[in-house]
Chains A and B, each alone.
Chain A
Amino acid sequence: MYILGVSAFYHDSAACLLKDGEIIAAAQEERFTRKKHDAAFPAQAVAYCIAQAGIRPDAIDHVVFYEKPFLKFERLLETYLAFAPRGFRSFSAAMPLWIKEKLFQKTMLVKDLSEVLDDQVDWKSRLLFSEHHLSHAASAFYPSPFDSAAVLTLDGVGEWTTTSVAVGQGRDLKVIKDIQFPHSLGLLYSAFTYYTGFKVNSGEYKVMGLAPYGEPKYAELIKDKLIHVAEDGSFQLDMSYFDYATGLTMTNRKFADLFGGPARQSESELTQREMDLAASVQQVTEEVVVKLARGIARETGEKNLCLAGGVALNCVANGILLREGIFDNIWIQPAAGDAGGALGAALCAWHLHHEHDRPSPAGRDGMKGAYLGPVYSDEDIEAALTRCGATFHKLDEQSLIDRVATALAEEKAVGWMQGRMEFGPRALGGRSIIADPRSPVMQKQLNLKVKYRESFRPFAPSVLREHVGDWFEHDADSPYMLLVADVQSDKRRQMTDEENALFGIEKLNVPRSSVPAITHVDYSARIQTVHQDTNPRYHAVISGFHEKTGCPLVVNTSFNVRGEPIVCTPEDAFRCFMGTELDVLAVGNFLLLKDQQDEALKENYEDRYELD
């Protein structure tokens, strides 16, 4: 039985295909259309899934949408009613959209499926709908390595729910309680994202990255005024400070008065105040997540915890949760945002609608390393690079690995496109930019000359699983880069008194360890453990670098520039290579060196994508 999961029409649309419950393909639409967070029906992602499976569209037994539009409409109406007459401007913006389009999502989906796949199939009879947070919970539990687990989902908002607790056992998954809109930890974080001058729905990572530069000066104020947190972690927001329920912004004047000024203008200079605000909201988020986890552990008695929803991408909070030891094991869905809803919706249909048993995972997760996207053969790559006018060398696997490891040791920045593309927001060695973490200038160089993004943003390490405990205060799997831990103390550099006295962004220029490019200002790092069985080629190149340098880790950042979706095809990779100061590109068995390329193929890439 084939089940296609679809998420669409809000942000990060995606498709996922299951064959008899096994995940065989999944991809986000943005990677194909090259529009970041593309919300359109995922036509190309759906077409990719079908092609990957090698089936005809009529072989699909069900298409499952990741949420229920009527429930969302009900929430909108009841919210407008509750706040009336406030909110008319928002109402007048939202209603025409719903009346023209969103109320007709079932019809739209049937039409899109007919256009993209096959107009002779009765898609209406094959269409199912799951609930938003049930989709998240399913995406967290069913692919997890646990037979039974508690499941916590946290995001901005689905239909009504913003936070849910579920228990998964075998094929059963039951939501046991939830917190509903407008009380939302995700939206509280987004409110601060907006207030500190970043884009909601994409700038949350930046707030998390900015937090270690600041002091949590406002944390008590946030807990006093904005959020009431109960002992079990359930919470309530004081909505008089927020505008998102009925307005067109996240926060209002009362919020600005509380924090002593208006929201920061986007792209204006970052000050210590924004850093302190980021540190404060991060600390409050961590406290709430830890309290919630304690409450869930008490209530369910489960030893394992699964996480999904946008807030589960807050890897700093995840790291703290792990270290608190509330649960024996934690597993986080790598596509924790709405894209992962497509996967969860399909899994709901398989296990809950069709009641198919779930075989014991025997301690292994079902995500296949999240390498679920398109792959290109050497013939495809050669043809694409030739079309682009590239100068390239075709090598055997071992020579390619040696050349790349040598380039890394020479502090070259390498574009690394190998195998299947990752599903989810993280690049995990399929579509990555990799570099030497020992270089004290690498972080700044990569941010400013390759990624064209803010200089304060940290980079993450990909470390050989066998060596993770030697380099980090963490000795467990973290294949999806969703856990943060500190660099081992013997790898840290002692700070002088002068260096310790530095504040805010000044801290950035002080190397803090023997791998400064991946050590954040608080000595933390967002770890990806690399495993021989899920990504042998990536494992081999890091091993090669290790042999040459004694360092079993590399810098790993997504293969894109600021505002651009991660590259998907060899053409995307070549364009990004030529538009940035990357030195080397390795695509499949092909190696490209920047100084051998035709100068005329260079393009101005920096301004090509809208800033995120």
Chain B
Amino acid sequence: MDLIKELWTFLKAKKKLWLAPIILVMLILGGLLILAQGSVVAPFIYTLF
């Protein structure tokens, strides 16, 4: 939670709130990539791309 709060404060201070949805998508994508390293979700990744 701390991290999300700090990220939000950072984006507000930098006037880059428009990055928030992009960060969210990238974090999800990145999260999937981590899971894909365990190979179970790998097919899901392929359907995304």
Q: Which A residues are within 8 Å of any B CB, using their own CB? A: 70, 74, 77-78, 80-81, 88, 92, 95-96, 98-100, 103-104, 106-107
Contact = CB atoms under 8 A, between A and B. Distances in A.
Contacts of B14: 74
Interface string B20-49: 001100110111011001000000000001
A79 to B, nearest CB: 12
B16 A74 contact: yes
Given A70-B7, A74-B14, A106-B6, A98 B19 contact: no
Given A70-B6, A104-B3, A106-B6, A99 B22 contact: no
Given A70-B10, A77-B19, A77-B23, A95 B30 contact: yes
A99 B27 contact: yes
Name the residue among B2, B3, B30, B34 with the largest chain A CB count within 10 angstroms: B30
Q: What's the dominant secondary structure at chain A's contact region?
A: helix
Contacts of A103: 3
Contacts of A98: 30
Name the residue among A88, A98, A99 with the largest chain B CB count within 10 angstroms: A99
A107 B4 CA distance: 13
29 contacts: A70-B6, A70-B7, A74-B10, A74-B14, A74-B16, A74-B19, A77-B19, A77-B26, A80-B26, A81-B22, A88-B49, A92-B33, A95-B26, A95-B29, A95-B30, A96-B30, A96-B33, A96-B34, A96-B37, A98-B30, A99-B27, A99-B30, A100-B34, A103-B3, A104-B3, A106-B2, A106-B6, A107-B2, A107-B3
Interface of B: 2-3, 6-7, 10, 14, 16, 19, 22-23, 26-27, 29-31, 33-34, 37, 49
Nearest to B29: A95
A378 to B, nearest CB: 50
Given A96-B34, A99-B27, 18 more contacts: A70-B6, A70-B7, A70-B10, A74-B14, A74-B16, A77-B23, A78-B19, A80-B26, A81-B22, A88-B49, A95-B26, A96-B37, A99-B30, A99-B34, A100-B34, A103-B3, A104-B3, A106-B2
B44 to A, nearest CB: 14
Contacts of B27: 99
A106 B29 CA distance: 23
Contacts of A106: 2, 6
Nearest to A104: B3
The 7 A-B residue pairs with the shortest CB-CB distance in the complex, in nearest-first order: A95-B30, A99-B30, A96-B34, A70-B10, A92-B33, A96-B33, A95-B33
A82 to B, nearest CB: 12
A100 B3 CA distance: 12
Nearest to A78: B19
Contacts of A100: 34
A88 B31 CA distance: 14
Nearest to A68: B10
A80 B37 CA distance: 21
Contact of A99 (B2, B6, B16, B31): B31
A570 to B, nearest CB: 44
A324 to B, nearest CB: 38
A70 B49 CA distance: 28
Nearest to A70: B10
Contacts of A77: 19, 22-23, 26
A143 to B, nearest CB: 30
Nearest to A103: B3
Contacts of A78: 19
